[in-house]
Structure 1
Amino acid sequence: MATQVNPTRMELTRLKKRLVTAVRGHKLLKDKRDEMVRQFMLHIRRNHALRLEVEKALQGVSTRFAMAKAQMGALRISEALLYPARAAVYEVGMKNVMSVDVPTITFTGGEEATEIPYAFTFTSSSLDNAVVELSALLPKLLELAEVEKTCNLLADEIEKTRRRVNALEYVMIPEMQTNIKFITMKLAENERASTVRLMKAKDMMAAQEAKAQAERAAKRAAG
């Protein structure tokens, strides 16, 4: 608070420099927050579109698996799906979005990932189509995981930046402005007090000089 600062010109200069830095930092943080919100909204829209697409595709896959179960029975489906499948190959990396490190997941399995790992002899077309569709859906699932994680990280960083912006806007900058005003008023008050003391000193000196002149004049008149 203003009452806790040392009202000197050096402190006033220091506070003014800090205020300039704080105002500049506040603007930069606000710009960063606004751009992060824009990026967040883009990823949210992409996340929504992907989720709808994936959920629709999964509903179709679930329907095909249900039809296959009715045609083949749960045991034969389990036996068919026990055959070794090809590995899903993907690369995980990182990218920077507004100073936030977010993951990137790139599917590199190629066409082999959509091949059926079992023989067609004792399986129904519903199961075959379900397996193919589910395999083809893997890149979208990986992209959805990437976008959702990005949204979560951006949301956390936006909240942190928002708290910093509010701390500067509502606490630090007003406090520094109050301290600067207090020191300025205190220095002006001290300057007025010094001026008053100087004027009184001049009046006293003028009065003493006038008294001395009057005494000298009285002595000359008496002599």
Structure 2
Amino acid sequence: MASRQQIKPNRMELLKLRKRLQIARRGHKLLKDKQDKLIQELMALTKEERKLRQETEDAFKSGLGLFAIAEAEMPSDSLESIMEFPPLRTSVTLSTQQILNLKVPKFDVRIEGDPFDYNFATTPGDLDLAIAKMKAAFEKMTTLSAKEKAILLVASEVELTRRRVNVLEYMLIPQLEEIEKDIVMRLTLAEMENISRLQRVKEIIRQH
């Protein structure tokens, strides 16, 4: 931005300066509104993430506990042979969703196959529950990873927007306002000097 010494104190410069000040104030308001909306989105995402994280941890704990019970109820080599070749195929599709001007990732997990492809007569019911719990936990974990990435992106955008708001609010707008006051004051003084000069000229003409 040009310094006060570089700006000529005339009405054209004053109009240009006031236009810049108007744009800066409008930009500040838009960025402030954007920052507020981003913070709201961040708080909502954080709340969802905490709930989802708890559900994921609970699902894993429950699944592992059921696996431990199932393992105690059947020979370990039998459980290992069942788990060694799981008849499942997992694929994750990446897409994006919009949060204001941000694109955040969205993961869609697809599990194909029959996770219960074993002999029910020789396995305890806890094994069925354990596999179902772990399948649900994996799906939740995939959703959780996308949610955490979204939080990082939104938090980064909040910080970037906050810096821009601060630059406008505490640096650019105050500087422009000070220059505007300086130009107005110098124009006022110049106008007063001009009026005084005209009065002296009139007085001289009247005397002659």
TM-score exceeds 0.5: yes
Higher strand share: 2
Match of 1:157 in 2: 157
Match of 1:61 in 2: 63
Query: 1:120: how far off?
Result: 5.7
Distance 2:89 2:47 in 1: 31
Whether the 8 Å contact between 1:69 and 1:77 is mirrored in structure 2 is yes
- Match of 1:108, SS state, is strand
Distance 2:205 2:135 in 1: 103
Match of 2:27 in 1: 25
Distance 2:181 2:70 in 1: 79
Larger Rg: 1
Distance 1:139 1:52 in 2: 14
Whether the 8 Å contact between 2:21 and 2:177 is mirrored in structure 1 is yes
Match of 2:108 in 1: 106
**1:1-223 → structure 2 map (5 Å cutoff):** 1-70=3-72, 77-109=79-111, 112=112, 115-116=115-116, 125-207=125-207, 209=208
Considering only aligned residues, what root-mean-square deviation do their CA atoms show, in Å? 2.4
- Match of 2:105, SS state, is strand
Which moves more between the two structures, 42-51 or 62-71? 62-71
Match of 1:215 in 2: none
- With normalisation by structure 1, the TM-score equals 0.81
Task: Describe the shift of the 1:74–1:156 C-alpha distance in structure 2 as closer, same or farther (beyond 3 A).
Answer: farther
Identity of aligned residues (%): 34
Q: Residue by residue, what CA displacement relative to the aligned partner does 1:30-54 show, whole Å, maximum 9, x if unpaired?
A: 1111111111111111111111111
Task: Describe the shift of the 1:113–1:205 C-alpha distance in structure 2 as closer, same or farther (beyond 3 A).
Answer: farther
Query: 1:74: how far off?
Result: 6.2
- With normalisation by structure 2, the TM-score equals 0.86
Which consecutive segments of 4 or more residues in structure 1 shift more than 6 A? none
Query: 1:62: how far off?
Result: 2.1
- Match of 1:174, SS state, is helix
Give the unaligned 5+ runs of structure 2: none
